[in-house]
């Protein structure tokens, strides 16, 4: 299926508006990005109530911060990774910061109330839980499991269009590929495996959760980066 993709830039995060036969959002930005999201919808001639699907790449606040608000306005179907659903719905608390880098270890020493305040967002029900291999029929997107940053991270792949929404698995700040924020990641080896999975998809375009759109030759860019980064870490270890 064909659809147009419009990037919605928050402070540092991206959400994406998909317009065509079905109107959808991939992620919703942080709560503070709500006005920007509304502005893009207005510019495209779309109302909140027109949104039919909300595709969530992972449970972090800067990606699910407006899910509840948009779902309440539109009745949109929320689709997210099964292993992340409990965090989005609020039946389980988000995990603490990670030991994968010094910043994560430092943040663990701060008062727990500070971190909870930073991670605060309105919880929302997940209507469809996915784990990889499913197809979002309304958009022709295949779900691909991308764990590592979060346990239930997923991507959404348009194989015909050779493009994919990849969440935080590869950032692209200043047009240079980079790692997810390790302070809030869970498993380094899984991150590399998920990046390698993206490198094998033959993507021309990748829409990351942070930074600029990766194109052309997105899979090659990701693959080259992953090989160099993995080798660098092995040398350092």
Report the percent of the chain where pLDDT is more than 90. 84
What mean pLDDT, rounded, does the chain reach?
Answer: 93
pLDDT at 113: 57
Q: What is the pTM for the complete model shown?
A: 0.94
CATH number at residue 179: 3.60.15.10
Give exposure, 151-162, as e/b (b: 16+ Cβ within 10 Å).
bbbbbbbbeebb
pLDDT digits (tens, 9 = 90+) for 182-214: 988 999 999 999 999 999 999 999 999 999 999
pLDDT digits (tens, 9 = 90+) for 144-172: 999 999 999 999 999 999 999 999 999 99
Q: What angle do CA 50, 54, 60 make, to 5 degrees?
A: 140
Of 198, 144, 145, 201, the closest CA to residue 171 belongs to 198
Rounded Cα distance, 223 and 192, in Å? 10
Q: Is the pLDDT of residue 139 over 80?
A: yes
Q: Is the pLDDT of residue 94 over 90?
A: no
Domain hosting residue 86, numbered range: 3-236
Q: How many domains does the chain have?
A: 1
pLDDT at 4: 98
Cis peptide before 97 (omega within 30 of 0): no
pLDDT digits (tens, 9 = 90+) for 27-53: 999 999 999 999 999 999 999 999 999
- Written as six digits, the tokens of 122 are 């309105």
Number of H helices, E strands in the chain: 8, 13
What H or E segment, with its residue span, contains residue 73? helix 67-74
């Amino acid at each position: 299926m064909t659809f147009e993709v419009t990037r919605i830039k928050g402070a540092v995060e991206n959400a994406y508006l998909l317009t065509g036969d079905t109107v959808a959002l991939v992620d919703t930005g942080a709560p503070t990005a709500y006005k920007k999201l509304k502005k893009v919808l207005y510019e495209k001639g779309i109302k909140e109530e027109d949104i039919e699907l909300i595709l969530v790449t992972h449970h972090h606040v800067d990606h699910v911060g407006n899910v509840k608000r948009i779902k309440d306005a539109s009745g949109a179907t929320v689709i997210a990774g099964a292993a992340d659903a409990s965090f989005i719905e609020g039946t389980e608390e988000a995990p603490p910061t990670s030991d994968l880098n010094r910043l994560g270890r430092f943040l663990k020493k701060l008062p727990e109330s500070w971190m909870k305040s930073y991670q605060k967002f309105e919880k929302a029900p997940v209507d469809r839980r996915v784990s990889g291999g499913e197809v979002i029929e309304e958009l022709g997107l295949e779900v691909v499991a991308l764990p590592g940053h979060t346990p239930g991270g997923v991507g959404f792949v348009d194989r015909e269009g050779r493009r994919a929404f990849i969440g935080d698995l590869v950032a692209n700040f200043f047009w240079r590929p980079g790692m997810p924020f390790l302070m809030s990641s869970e498993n380094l080896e899984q991150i590399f495996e998920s990046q390698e999975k993206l490198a094998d998809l033959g993507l021309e375009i990748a829409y990351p959760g942070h930074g600029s759109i990766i194109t052309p030759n997105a899979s090659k860019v990701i693959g080259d980066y992953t090989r160099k980064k993995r080798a660098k870490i092995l040398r350092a270890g």
